[in-house]
A and B are shown apart, each in its own frame.
Chain A
Amino acid sequence: MSDYRSLYQEVILDHNKKPRNYGTIEHPQHHAVGHNPLCGDHISVDISLNDDRIENIAFQGESCAICKASASMMTVSVKGKTRTETETLIQEFLAMATGKLSHEACPNIGRLAVFAGISDLPTRVKCAILPWHTLHSAFTSEGTTSTEAEADPMHAPIGDA
């Protein structure tokens, strides 16, 4: 990607300005907090399920535009999905953001393809994937996650932010 500004597309700027599903759920069945200790950013994700489907999801936190837009679009994308469908999407998003798969190779990625260009900016990949780390942690009841935790199965070994 020659022009990084293309990353800051209308849709990303819009989700940053007016994040969807922003806040908390009163009695969430799943909850996790994600940290990026390199920049101090943090977000929390709350989920309530109906059977196996995400009935409600909310996030909040302090972060850059890339992270906030990623979180906002994530909540929109996974609402109504089953756990399995959600995990599939998490894996696709991570593969796309880290440059392992092109967005064309991700059948469920949809509008999230706007984040494909992040893989050219290694120091910003963590910003985009932090919400997805956190969502995964909420499901696995790990409670907290960190972009720097080597033990995390989704740890992306990339440069110092």
Chain B
Amino acid sequence: MNITRTAQKSKNSPAFEVERIRADFPILSLRVNDKPLVYLDNAASSQMPQPVIDRLTRYQTTQHANINRAVHYLSEVATSEFEEARRKLQAFINASNEREIIFTSGTTDAINLVMHGYGRKMIGPGDEIILTTLEHHSNIVPWQMLAEEKGAKIRIVPINDAGELLIDEYEKLFNSRTKFVGATHVSNALGTINPIKEMIAFAHARGVPILIDGAQAAPHIKVDVQDLDCDFYAFSGHKLCGPTGIGILYGRAAILESMQPFKGGGDMILSVTFEKTIYNTIPHKFEAGTPPIAAAIGLGAAVDYLSTIGMDAIAAHELNLLQYATEKINSLPGVRIIGTAKHKAAVLSFAVDGVHPHDIGTLLNQDGVAVRTGHHCAQPVMQRFKIPATSRASFAFYNNIREVDALIDGIRTVQKVFT
């Protein structure tokens, strides 16, 4: 009896109070075209809660100076808050050491850092780099640039019709020339969650280092880089309720220490003479010049905010939204979901028969619904499905069921206009 009552109680009083969370995001009360904003473009960039906005204001109004330089009060405060943010990020992804957290300008910058710092030193003519069909252009183009420079070759892991990687094919791509793997944790275009832990283990068993593009994963699922055992993990602050212009490259200390610096300048050195420069230790070796200090501190506040809600609770709520939206979209005749992987994050790419995604996007916007339309910087995925573009709704933990309904009503309106 007691057990039943407890079970019912927990079912009826969900720990996840989405309306209370929504109240933390000022932008969500905006009206667009005289309709409440329905922001479903979170895979492109997320919105910022008041605690993060307040933290940025507090930094700019009471703590700002350049870091690692002067002995005055403000410089010491700014330096200590900046390094505190690094430790928050370390805890957020469970890195074993704060020296393994490098502040970059974003995921793209982080991947370019690895390409220049590791790739240009370690990859040579005839070597092979494995990437997947699901990569964002930011985890394709830097490696193509390297392959062209070095005479290396890029091998691609194919996907099935559901948008899942063919892991057998991945394993077959390895040979004695394989020197590096780059794989996305979650596909930005389809939402597929890749089995990266298995992929990492397979690469490591062959002595091949692997970079994980976590831009779409870090905001939605608990990331533990020690459990994953990856060599590099890259993600962006602005998809994580933080500011733009800041991102993280996690790298295992040993591999970071073996790497060349990417950018030269101040802060990344121990001493400079015109004869010889001695580089600083990690992570500073990779942080030349004045970093985006406010953005880093803001990102620290953002991961505090997310951790208070709990990444597991966030993932569970988003999965509910995804399942509800998937059911609703599947019930609409003439609408097809692109990307039907078994394990998906809350990304819903879809096509409406006879209607171009741009027309869908413009008409949904009329109803205040913000979705992304286009190739999502993942043209190889589009080519695989033989479509030029999709419409994509991507959910965050602050979205609710009413907003999914607004999307569905909007798609019905689009279909009515185009009948």
Contacts and interface: CB of A to CB of B under 8 A. Distances in A.
Given A13-B418, A65-B418, A8 B358 contact: no
Interface in B354-392: 355-359, 362-363, 365-366, 373-375, 379, 382, 388-389
B33 interface: yes
Interface residues on A, range: 20 to 34
A124 B355 CA distance: 15
A13 B363 CA distance: 13
A41 B359 CA distance: 13
B363 A64 contact: no
Interface string B1-40: 0000000000000000000000000000000011000000
A66 B355 CA distance: 11
A64 B359 contact: yes
A159 to B, nearest CB: 12
B276 to A, nearest CB: 43
A51 interface: no
B417 interface: yes
Given A4-B362, A39-B389, A13 B356 contact: no
A41 B417 contact: no
B388 A39 contact: yes
A161 B33 contact: no
A149 interface: no
Interface string B386-419: 0011000000000000000000000000000110
A38 B374 contact: yes
Contacts of A13: 417-418
A97 to B, nearest CB: 15
Interface residues of B, number: 20
Nearest to A68: B356
Interface in A141-157: none
Given A41-B388, A62-B388, A65-B356, A3 B366 contact: yes
B375 A40 contact: yes
Contact of A8 (B373, B375, B417): B417
A38 B356 CA distance: 14
Interface in A56-112: 62-66
B262 to A, nearest CB: 26
B389 to A, nearest CB: 5
Most chain B Cβ neighbours within 10 Å, of A7, A13, A38, A40: A40
Nearest to B360: A64
Contacts of B389: 39-40
B359 A65 contact: yes
A20 B382 CA distance: 29
Given A62-B388, A63-B356, A64-B356, A8 B374 contact: no
A5 B374 contact: no
A7 B358 CA distance: 13
B366 A5 contact: yes
A13 B354 CA distance: 12
Interface in A1-60: 2-5, 7-8, 13, 38-41
A121 interface: yes
Residue among A7, A13, A39, A124 having the largest count of chain B Cβ atoms under 10 Å: A39
A135 interface: no
A38 B362 CA distance: 16
Contacts of A65: 355-356, 359, 418
A129 interface: no
18 contacts: A2-B34, A4-B362, A4-B366, A13-B418, A39-B357, A39-B373, A39-B375, A39-B389, A40-B388, A41-B388, A63-B356, A64-B356, A64-B357, A65-B418, A121-B362, A124-B358, A161-B358, A161-B374
Given A3-B366, A38-B374, 17 more contacts: A3-B33, A4-B33, A4-B362, A4-B366, A5-B363, A5-B366, A5-B417, A39-B357, A39-B375, A40-B382, A40-B389, A64-B357, A65-B359, A124-B358, A127-B358, A161-B358, A161-B374
Interface of B: 33-34, 355-359, 362-363, 365-366, 373-375, 379, 382, 388-389, 417-418
